[in-house]
Structure 1
Amino acid sequence: MNVYELAPGFWFWMAPHPEWEPTENWPEDVLCVYYESSDGIVLIDPLLPRGEKAEFWRALDADVDRLRQPVGVLLTAPWHARDTSAVVDRYAASVWGPPGARWEGPALTTTDDLPPGVEALLPEGDKNQALFFVRDHQTLVTGDIFSGTGGRFHVFLDEQDPALFLAWLPRLFELPLQRVLIAHGEPVLCDGAARVREAVAEARALDP
């Protein structure tokens, strides 16, 4: 598992996706986020690292013992639940997911409340996804909405209403962004606002 600290109490890790195949058009390692809010530990789209689960649990147990505060899971999409159930079983964690999302099985969500310091952005035209903005770190966590490599992003259009979705995306320009963390691909750790603007402009130019 590769861990990258962005600031004290705020880091992300990369772990190999168990269902990845060489034919996929996204990297095997996917991104997950750890954030210490003022009232607990927040995990976004958690995936335990294959072959290193014991070490992961030991480290997270130590953080939980140190802070003595609850654990919460935030999901950018239902299909990013990943190892959420294991986190819930271990820490009685709360779970927040996009309010209008469709779940293949029973919904895992247990709360409508977001932790302090995290804002959820709900795209119009796609009820299955959410983005999270961690304001004190000027960081946007996008899930699958953006992909990219080499410091460039592309908007991923799936089954949502493309016209409505693309019309909504410029609202992201209002955020004071520095970092952008995407689920599949390389994060941008500075000048994230410019990269988002470029991706949205590209998507709107390509949309028929």
Structure 2
Amino acid sequence: MRGTLEKIIDLLPGLWLWRTRHPHWTDDADWDPVVTSVCVHAGEEIALIDPIAPDQSADVFWKRMDAEPPTLIIVLKPDHVRDVDFFVERYHATAYGPYLFWRNDIPKVRIEPIEPGNTLPGGMVALYDGRGRNETPLWLPQYQAILFADAFTERQGKLRVWSTPWHKERVLSALHKLLELPFQFIIISHGQPIHDRAEYEHALECPPWP
């Protein structure tokens, strides 16, 4: 893959993200060209979530990455394979992700499967979002944050749930259930990446993004 690095954002000590222009974006895509990847220090682990590798000209990124190499690479959703192979091979990290992938986008490296309820190394917990897209959002207890792949999107400054045919039947109950966790903010891949708990609650009351 390889994308153009747009920005690095430090959220908390041990939790930062980078914004990269997606190299496969096209004009007819229903999402912005710049997407988010996350780095989290969890216990003794350093995990990259849904990472896209910036091109080699992004010196500030690669110096930071090489100074504290990742030990885990985590894929939250089948179509977020992105650069898992590259990062696993470069840093000899262990990969986690879905047990199923799209037939034309299958990682070459071994992927340890994740299912809702699994606790990963470092204490991160895979969650259930009810959307039937084989996505496992990730709960980060020490940061009081939840990471999502595509369950949410930001449109025109508002956080929205991405639509599925069973939004009322399954999705809303699953996302309301996550309010039992003491999270203060969420991080999403598409659109403005950081949203607080109040925005999350408001998104559940809005119609899903079609």
Q: TM-score, structure 1 length as denominator? A: 0.83
Specify the code of the residue in structure 2 equivalent to 1:201.
E
User: In 2, are the aligned partners of 1:32 and 1:183 still within 8 Å (CA)?
Assistant: yes
2:112 partner SS:
coil
Give 1:171 shift.
0.9
Q: C-alpha distance in 2, partners of 1:161/1:86?
A: 35
Q: 1:6 to 1:148 in 2, by over 3 A?
A: same
Give ranges in structure 2 of 5+ residues lacking alignment.
none
CA drift at 1:92? 1.9
Question: Which residue of structure 1 aligns with residue 79 of structure 2?
Answer: 79
Query: Aligned residue for 1:44?
Result: 49
Matched to 2:189, the amino acid is: A
1:132 and 2:142 are equivalent in the alignment: no
- SS of 2:194's partner is coil
- State the 1:127 CA deviation: 4.8
- Partner SS for 2:203: helix
Shift in Å at residue 149 of structure 1? 4.2
What do residues 4-43 of structure 1 show as CA deviations (whole Å, max 9, x unaligned)?
Answer: 1111221000000011123323211100000112122100
- Compare the two structures and name the one with the higher helix fraction: 1
Deviates more, 1:172-181 or 1:11-20: 172-181
* Corresponding residue for residue 176 of structure 1: 182
Distance, in Å, in 2 between the alignment partners of 1:93 and 1:188 is: 26
Corresponding position: 1:187 with 2:189: no
Secondary structure, aligned partner of 1:26:
coil
Does structure 2 retain, via aligned residues, the 8 Å contact 1:15–1:50? no
Alignment partner for residue 207 of structure 2, among 196, 200, 203? 203
Coordinate RMSD, CA, aligned: 2.5
Q: Does 1:92 align with 2:92?
A: yes
Alpha-carbon separation, structure 1, partners of 2:140 and 2:85: 24
* Aligned with 1:34 (options 23, 39, 57): 39
CA–CA separation in structure 1 for the residues paired with 2:39 and 2:93: 14
In the alignment, what sits opposite 2:111?
A: 109
Name stretches of at least 5 consecutive residues in structure 1 with no aligned partner. Answer: 65-69
Q: Which residue of 1 aligns with 2:13?
A: 8
Amino acid at match of 1:154: R
Deviations 1:124-174 (A, max 9, x none): 35151111111111111111100014652111124x643222332211211
Identity %: 29
Distance 2:122 2:184 in 1: 20
Q: Distance in 1 between matches of 2:67 and 2:61?
A: 10
Q: Is the partner of 2:163 in helix, strand or coil?
A: coil
User: What letter is aligned with 2:163?
Assistant: L
Deviation at 1:90, TM superposition (A): 1.0
> What is the distance in 2 between the residues matched to 1:55 and 1:5?
13
Contact 2:98/2:134 (<8 A) preserved: yes
Letter aligned with residue 114 of structure 1 = L
Aligned pairs, how many? Answer: 197
**TM-score normalised over the length of structure 2:** 0.82
Q: Decide whether the 8 Å contact of 2:128 with 2:174 is kept in 1.
A: no
